[in-house]
């Protein structure tokens, strides 16, 4: 599994689209008028807090949830009413859902068995699938004899062995510990590149979403809040919700006080701050600015930046690689700032005075919702 390998089956990958899909439970909309187009061979992540409708959308794609309204198409074919066993989509479930009474090998044979392929004829495919997830040595074990990470690999192999048109993954890493989760993120991404199959991934973990996806769709209350490439979403969140859910942000609410060609100034409780913005803003308008903690410069003396404020350290946490400071400022409230621990300019001590500064390009104007 190296990055240089060519996708084996990219020509076989499929595109999926949702057209105004709505799912009502009583009068409550779990999914509310979602339209989405997933290009061939891409890795798309549905990201959202619990109750945002991400799993319902995945279940509708898999065929376990019948949309109240709307249409799902695979390429040009409408599949809204096709039963789950006729869709030919591979799925990795939360908790893996391995058949406990079957060995690893028989679990992987299962999708081929129900397609009428004998174990003898399926043996090559089973072996290849096991090799793909590096589980060849444990073929005759029962799922209960495997660790969480191993079960996850078997679930993956089982979902891949019948060459599905689409891979659906429902929080596949959520039950694993942090280190294993990080390792498997690399592996999943490499696997996706190798197979070229379209992957649809559901998670509430923003780091997973950022690290693996070609595209992220952020869901909130059954609707699409924002979608785009990971970098674009992180750098240009459109709303307060996205700025706070995908990574963390400080929020500065103020009134526009002045404008020039590329920047405007706004005042927060009497403090003038400068902000870059391509979108037009009117004088006196209320604006909300989101500022990432890692884009704030933490310094002993006033930094040479257009935006600066002094404050006192109210709280700090050490994370090995980083310090996280909570700085109480006189006019801007508490601001969170992070700085590399090996290159920290200030003495990390409670109540010591520090300066915070950031450039007008560092922050982004967001909608307040």
Partner 1 sequence: MERRLTFGRCMMLGLAWTVLGFMVLPMLIIFPVSLTDQYYLSLPKESLSLEHYKAYFTDEQWIDATVQSVIIAVASTVASVVLGTLCAIGCWRISTSRASAVRTFMLLPIIVPTIVQALALYRFWIDLRIVDTYIGVILAHTLVSIPYVVITVSAALAGFDVRLEQAARNLGASMAQTIRHVIVPSIMPGVLSGAIFAFTISFDEIVMVLFITSRNVYTLPKRIWDGIEDHLDPTIASVATMLIVVTLALLLAELWLRQRRSIARGRASGEA
**Residues binding partner 1 (CB under 8 A):** 62-64, 83-91, 93-95, 97-101, 110-111, 113-115, 144, 158-159, 162, 168
Q: Cα separation of 362 and 222, whole Å?
A: 31
CB 190, min distance to partner 1, A: 24
The kind and range of the H/E element at 159 are helix 148-160
64 or 318: CB nearest partner 1: 64
Give the CA dihedral 204, 210, 214, 217, nearest 10 degrees: 40
62 or 289: CB nearest partner 1: 62
Q: Which residues contact 127 (CB under 8 A, 6 or more apart)?
A: 136
CB 70, min distance to partner 1, A: 21
**Residue 223: how many CB atoms within 10 A of its CB?**
15
Instruction: Catalogue the E-assigned strands of 204-304.
Output: 215-220, 223-228, 250-259, 263-268, 271-276, 286-291, 297-299
Q: Cα separation of 359 and 362, whole Å?
A: 5
202 or 332: CB nearest partner 1: 202
82 or 190: CB nearest partner 1: 82
CB 39, min distance to partner 1, A: 23
**Residue 362: how many CB atoms within 10 A of its CB?**
18
CB 171, min distance to partner 1, A: 12
14 or 87: CB nearest partner 1: 87
CB 61, min distance to partner 1, A: 11
165 or 225: CB nearest partner 1: 165
80 or 263: CB nearest partner 1: 80
Q: Which residues contact 44 (CB under 8 A, 6 or more apart)?
A: 38, 198, 199, 200, 201, 213, 214, 215, 216, 217
CB 163, min distance to partner 1, A: 11
From the list 361, 359, 355, the residue with the least C-alpha distance to 337 is: 355
CB 138, min distance to partner 1, A: 16
- What does the angle CA 23 – CA 28 – CA 31 come to, to the nearest 5 degrees? 35
């Amino acid at each position: 599994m190296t990055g240089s390998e060519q996708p084996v089956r990219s020509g076989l990958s499929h595109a999926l689209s949702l057209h105004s899909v709505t799912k009502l439970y009583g009068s409550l909309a779990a999914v509310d008028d979602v339209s989405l187009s997933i290009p061939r061979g891409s890795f798309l992540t549905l990201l959202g807090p619990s109750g945002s409708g991400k799993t319902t959308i995945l279940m509708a794609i898999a065929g376990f949830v019948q949309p109240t309204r709307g249409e799902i198409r695979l390429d040009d074919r409408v599949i809204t009413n096709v039963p789950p066993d006729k869709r030919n989509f591979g799925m990795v479930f939360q908790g893996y859902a391995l058949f406990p009474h079957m060995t690893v090998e028989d679990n992987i044979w299962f999708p081929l068995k129900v397609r009428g392929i004998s174990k003898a004829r399926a043996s090559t495919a089973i072996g290849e699938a096991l090799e793909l997830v590096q589980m060849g040595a444990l073929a005759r074990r029962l799922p209960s004899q495997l660790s969480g990470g191993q079960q996850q690999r078997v679930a993956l192999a089982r979902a891949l062995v019948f060459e599905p048109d689409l891979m659906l993954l429902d929080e596949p890493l959520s039950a694993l510990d942090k280190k294993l989760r990080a390792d498997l993120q690399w592996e999943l991404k490499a696997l996706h590149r190798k197979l070229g199959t379209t992957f649809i991934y559901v998670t509430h973990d923003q780091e997973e979403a950022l690290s693996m996806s070609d595209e992220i769709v952020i869901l909130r209350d059954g609707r699409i809040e924002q979608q785009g490439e990971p970098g674009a979403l992180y750098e240009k969140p459109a709303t307060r919700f996205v700025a706070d859910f995908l990574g963390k942000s400080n929020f500065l609410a103020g009134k526009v006080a002045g404008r020039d060609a590329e920047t405007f100034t706004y005042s927060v409780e009497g403090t003038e701050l400068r902000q870059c913005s391509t979108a037009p803003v009117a004088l006196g308008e209320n604006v909300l600015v989101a500022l990432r903690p890692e884009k704030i410069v933490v310094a002993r003396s006033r930094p040479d930046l257009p935006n600066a404020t002094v404050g006192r350290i109210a709280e700090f946490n050490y994370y090995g690689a980083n310090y996280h400071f909570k700085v109480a400022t006189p006019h801007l409230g508490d601001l969170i700032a992070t700085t590399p621990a090996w290159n920290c300019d200030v003495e990390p001590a409670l109540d010591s005075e520090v300066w915070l500064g950031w450039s007008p390009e560092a922050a982004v104007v967001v909608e307040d919702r």
